[in-house]
Amino acid sequence: MTGRENNSRIIIPIFLCFYNTFIWNDFLLQLPTYYFYNSSIIAYFQLKNPLYEI
């Protein structure tokens, strides 16, 4: 169990909370859509298999 794996379990859910809350914020609307799309896919694999690494 490395620190990176532990951090992934904590940071990803927090990121999704901010993503869901501020997705319609003008600043985030200017960011590339694929960035959030790929982050959601990464979070999905993290939830299905916590040891999954990109």
What pLDDT score does 24 carry? Answer: 53
What pLDDT score does 26 carry? Answer: 57
Q: Per the domain annotation, does 14 fall within a domain?
A: yes
Q: Which residue has the higher pLDDT, 52 or 45?
A: 45
What is the secondary structure of 9-46 as a DSSP string?
HHHHHHHHHHHHHHTTSHHHHTS-HHHHHHHHHHHHHH
What pLDDT score does 12 carry? Answer: 62
Q: Per the domain annotation, does 53 fall within a domain?
A: no
What pLDDT score does 17 carry? Answer: 59
What pLDDT score does 19 carry? Answer: 60
* Tens digits of residue pLDDT in 3-48: 555 555 656 666 665 665 555 555 555 666 556 666 676 667 666 6
Q: Per the domain annotation, does 30 fall within a domain?
A: yes
Using CB atoms within 10 Å of the CB of residue 15, give its burial: 0 to 12 exposed, 13 to 18 middle, 19+ buried.
middle
Q: Per the domain annotation, does 54 fall within a domain?
A: no
Q: Per the domain annotation, does 17 fall within a domain?
A: yes
Q: Domain containing 8: what range?
A: 3-48
Please count the structural domains in the chain. 1
